[in-house]
Amino acid sequence: MIWKKIADLILKNRLAVIVIVTLLSVFMGWKASQVKLTYNAGKVLPVTDSAYIRFKQFQSKFGQDGTALVLGFKADNIFQKDIYNDWYQLGQNVQHLNGIKAVISLANIYNLGKDTIQHRFVLKPLITHKLTSDQEVDSVRNQILGLPFYDGLVLSEDHKSTLMAITFDNKVVNSPARIPVIKEIMHQAQIFEQKHHIKVHASGLPLIRTVVSDLVSHEFVLFLGLSLLITAIILLLFFRTGYAVIFPVFVVILGVIWSLGLLVLNHFNITLLTGIIPPLVVVIGIPNSIFILNKYYYEFGVTGDKIKSLYIVIEKVGITTFIANVTTAIGFGVLCFTNSQILMEFGLVASLSIMATFALSLVLIPIIFSYLPAPKPRQSGIKDQKLIRLFLVKIDYLVQHARPAIYIATTVLVIICFYGMSRINVNGYIVDDLPKSSSILSDLRFFESSFKGVLPLEVSVESKHKNGLMNLATMRKIEKLEDLISSYPEFSKSLSLIQVLKFSTQGFYGGKPEFYRLPDGLEQNFILSYAANSGKGGANSGMLKNYLDSTKQTTRISFQMVDAGSKKLNSLFTELQPRIDSIFNPKNYHVELTGSSVIFVKGNNYLIKNLYESLALAIFLIGIIMWVLFRGLKMVLISLLPNIIPLIITAGIMGFFGIPLKPSTILIFSIAMGISSDQTIYFLTRYRQEMRNSTKSISQVVSDTIRETGISMIYIATVLFFGFGIFAASTFGGTVALGILLSITLLIAMITNLTLLPAFLLSLEKRNKKTAVLTEPLADMEAPVL
């Protein structure tokens, strides 16, 4: 009854509905025009997570980490005069760019001198101009090699590689303003590279995030265009008429506009995940139009009346497509319960966009076609293919006469895939999704081999007493901790209060390398007072502030690390914790591994755990819908199994082909569960209608349902397969895996819904009395016929 009223509302108020939809679409279009790319890493951990809270506290004390872009090169003649001078000039040019806070390199470093009058240390640039002779270069080289503070930081241990660390201002690094700055830096580096024929490598989180943002922007346009092209071609092949192509495409374009408007209304930006929502809207939205149009053409062939046919379409197809879209939206919507901002944004906007596109299709397609010329006799809907009919006849034969073989084959396949699942590697990398051919990856490997990486790792050491760090015993503990972490090949030399104090001791004793050590005895207070005075304004401001908080209770130790993957890093962090506790008694100190890299690893762990729960929630919610529709635990099991088995097979494929389980790939399962359940609903709805309205045997009803609904399932699977297949063109590994595995999963789901589902019905319902079927709820709900 409610759908009859909806049909009345739509078709009796066509102009008013068009005006309302137009105004809403204009508003959404205006909002969509304000959509922006994200320029920082999305929040993966919930803001209530203890690790995230401590990370933010760390940042409030010491500032943001991961703000440095690094340039580097390897050469046997690093200290050749022209090369050294041009490296110095490159640093000077970069230093003067807006948004650059500091530049440190082999040609832009500072030595520490002693001002005995002011009782403070003075940072002096080692060079202030281009060097004019080889003798000057040799002198500078000897001075640099006599400064252990920089060894392993700007000069590799073999003295054949060097880097330039370029620190961005916090206000610039997470904004669009960083893009022109990075472009200019890369331009300056290219000039150096071309002049000396030396490969200049570039890395660091600001560059990685900028490259990712550029790729997201490019792929946003690419995938939207490809999805529209693919679906338009499929529509043309299905219906062989222009109207059935132009207007469904127009409707999903409106759906795309609404999805972008929803992003802005929720104050979200385009990320790697939300950037794929528009093509998803196209791929998932087109089947709505296919169902509506094909039912319209079919009913018009029966009634010869446009308006009457459209009434029937809305009344009969509306409920089924509505529920199908709800199950699809559930597959995305459960991501909102992960409490991860990046997944919540994706899940919320995707689910709302799917339902909005469904509503636009149900409203606009009937209204538009009510104004178009009546379908011609040759337009009977989707064109039947003899090959498909023959395929469905074979499927029907197998279901009717070879059910044991279907069960045995499925069981064997599931067992094999369970073994494949056991081989799945749960692992994720910070730059995991970039293509293997990307220069970002090759450059990162250069820094990992020469400097043990460029990704930030921070260690916070907190005493539970004020001034608790300012004693020699505690400093010795911190030094021991630094040596422990640096002993691992995955972590670089430290940059810390300890290294600054060692540098200060060397400076206090005239720069002699043998005095690069912690101050001890009476000299400790003397040198600390010099260092404290050095922090009062001028160029030396922040000499200790960068590494020690105002209460002298908390200090930071900064490392660089390789992108070893979440699996390896989890193992390392687990191994480190008891060794750290053996140095610092947890009763007196709190030592925390933190920083962007640690937050990534913890976020990866959090997502994997919560996405498992999201999949379970999706299965539960879809099971509830199936119970409401068809009632009875038996029918819930019958409807869920054909959609769970494809997930098991896909997981097995991942294990056999070495595709790791990570946030981007585990998303596949809840999404596929929501989409594939649509086909189950279409099949079971048609089956129930036939059981209610005919006197045929169950066996005959199953055969009829396979041959009639099977056509729609094949065509929709075709749309989804090629629609999601476009993501194989992505440059991001995670997006490629998402597209390919979703395509495979949905194709397998079509096969299981055409074989296992009817086989279960025949095996489990043959003994049921037909009257039991007739009294079950929603038995009169009509499935779209293709």
How far, in Å, CA of 432 to CA of 563, rounded?
9
**Residue 333 exposed, middle or buried by CB count within 10 Å (0-12, 13-18, 19+):** buried
| Tokens read off for 154 | 């700007």
- What is the predicted pLDDT for the residue at 41? 66
pLDDT band at 440 (very low <50, low <70, confident <90, very high): confident
pLDDT given at position 558: 92
Q: Which residue has the higher pLDDT, 370 or 692?
A: 370
What's the rounded mean pLDDT across residues 659-671?
A: 82
Is the confidence at residue 542, as pLDDT, over 60?
A: no
- Distance in angstroms (rounded) separating the CA atoms of residues 80 and 137: 7
Cα–Cα distances (Å) from 631 to 316, 392, 624, 705, 776, in that order, read 21, 28, 9, 20, 7
Q: Report the DSSP beta bridge partners of residue 679.
A: none
Only one residue has tokens 């209304």, namely 265
- Reading the block at residue 112, the tokens are 């520490």
Q: What is the mean pLDDT of residues 534-563?
A: 74
Confidence of residue 766 (pLDDT cuts 50, 70, 90): low
Does residue 518 contact residue 498 with C-beta atoms inside 8 Å? Answer: yes
Query: How many angstroms separate the CA atoms of 421 and 648, rounded?
Result: 8
Q: Give yes or no for a contact between 468 and 552, defined as CB atoms under 8 angstroms apart.
A: yes
CB 293 within 8 A of CB 381: yes
- Token pair listed for 383: 């064109």
**Domain 386-422+612-786 bears CATH identifier 1.20.1640.10:** yes
Separation CA 370–CA 306 (nearest Å): 6
User: Which of the pair, 613 or 265, is modelled with greater confidence?
Assistant: 265
Residue 446 scores a pLDDT above 90: yes
Calpha distance 459→144 (Å, rounded): 27
Over the chain, what is the mean pLDDT?
A: 86
Q: Does the pLDDT at position 638 exceed 50? A: yes
Lookup: tokens for 268 = 């979200």
pLDDT of 286 higher than 50: yes
Contact between 462 and 553 (Cβ < 8 Å)? yes
Residue 770 has a pLDDT of: 45
Q: What is the pLDDT of residues 172-194, one digit of tens each?
A: 888 888 899 999 999 999 999 99
Residue 398: which pLDDT band, with cuts at 50, 70 and 90? very high
The CA-based diameter of the chain, rounded to the nearest angstrom, is: 108
- The winner for highest mean pLDDT among 190-204, 210-224, 730-744 is 190-204
CB 54 within 8 A of CB 592: yes
What is the C-alpha end-to-end distance of the chain, expressed in Å? 24
Higher pLDDT: 322 or 781? It is 322
Which helix (H) or strand (E) covers residue 125, if one does? strand 120-125
Is the pLDDT assigned to residue 61 strictly greater than 90? no
CA–CA gap between residue 553 and residue 470 (Å, rounded)? 8
H-helix or E-strand containing 499? helix 497-508
Instruction: Quickly state the pLDDT bin for 539 (edges 50, 70, 90).
Output: very low
* Percent over 70 (pLDDT), the chain: 94
Residue 416 has pLDDT above 90, yes or no: yes
H-only helix segments in 534-662: 566-583, 596-630, 633-656
Q: Does 386-422+612-786 match 1-34+232-371 at the fold level?
A: yes
Q: What H or E segment, with its residue span, contains residue 460?
A: strand 455-463
* pLDDT class of 772 with cuts at 50, 70, 90: very low
Whole-angstrom Cα distance, residue 428 to residue 433?
9
The answer to whether 321 touches 393, Cβ cutoff 8 Å, is no
Would you place residue 603 in the very low, low, confident or very high pLDDT band (cuts 50, 70, 90)?
confident
Alpha-carbon distance of 234 to 349, in angstroms, equals 26
What is the percentage of the chain residues whose pLDDT exceeds 90?
Answer: 42
CB neighbour burial string for 106-115, b if at least 16 within 10 angstroms, e if fewer = bbbbbbbebe
Model confidence at 768, pLDDT cuts 50, 70, 90, reads low
559 sits in which H/E element = strand 554-561
Name which of 81-95, 635-649, 707-721 the model is least confident about: 707-721
Question: What is the gyration radius of the CA atoms in the chain, in angstroms?
Answer: 33
pLDDT tens digits for range 311-366: 998 988 888 889 889 999 999 999 888 888 888 999 999 999 999 999 999 999 99
Mean pLDDT of all residues in 603-632: 85
Residues 291-306 have pLDDT tens digits of: 888 888 888 888 888 8
Q: For 677, list phi and psi in degrees, rounded to 5.
A: -65, -25
DSSP bridge partners of 70 = 165, 203
- How much is the pLDDT for 437? 76
User: Span 459-475, mean pLDDT?
Assistant: 86
Note whether 399 and 762 are within 8 A (CB).
yes
What is the pLDDT at residue 663?
Answer: 72
Tokens of 61: 């004390």
Residue extents of the structural domains in the chain? 1-34+232-371, 66-203+448-591, 386-422+612-786
**Inter-residue contact 780 to 665 (CB < 8 Å):** no
Distance between CA atoms of 371 and 531, rounded to whole angstroms?
82
594, β-bridge pairs: 458
* Confidence tier at 781 by pLDDT (50, 70, 90): low
pLDDT bucket at 634, cuts 50 / 70 / 90:
confident
Residues paired with 555 in a beta bridge: 461, 548
The span from the CA of 178 to the CA of 624, in Å, is 49
The arithmetic mean of pLDDT across residues 570-575, rounded, is 92
- What pLDDT is stored for residue 341 in this prediction? 84
DSSP code per residue over 154-179: TB-TTSSEEEEEEEEPHHHHTSTTHH
Weakest-pLDDT range from 131-135, 594-598, 630-634: 630-634
Q: What is the pLDDT of residue 532?
A: 67
Give Cα separations from 569 to 91, 298, 532, 598, 599 (angstroms): 34, 60, 36, 9, 11
Phi and psi, residue 536, nearest 5°: -95, 85
Q: In this model, does residue 775 exceed pLDDT 50?
A: no
pLDDT of 316 reads 83
Query: Is 1-34+232-371 in CATH node 1.20.1740?
Result: no
Local confidence band at 384 (pLDDT 50, 70, 90 cut-offs): low
* Pairing between β-strand 100-104 and β-strand 455-463 as defined by DSSP bridges: unpaired
Whether the per-residue pLDDT at 783 is higher than 60: the answer is no
Q: What is the mean pLDDT of residues 148-159?
A: 89
The Cα 235–Cα 786 span in angstroms is 13
Predicted confidence band of residue 381 (pLDDT cuts 50, 70, 90): low
- C-alpha span between 106 and 91 (Å, rounded): 10
At residue 641 the predicted structure's pLDDT band, cuts being 50, 70 and 90, is: very high
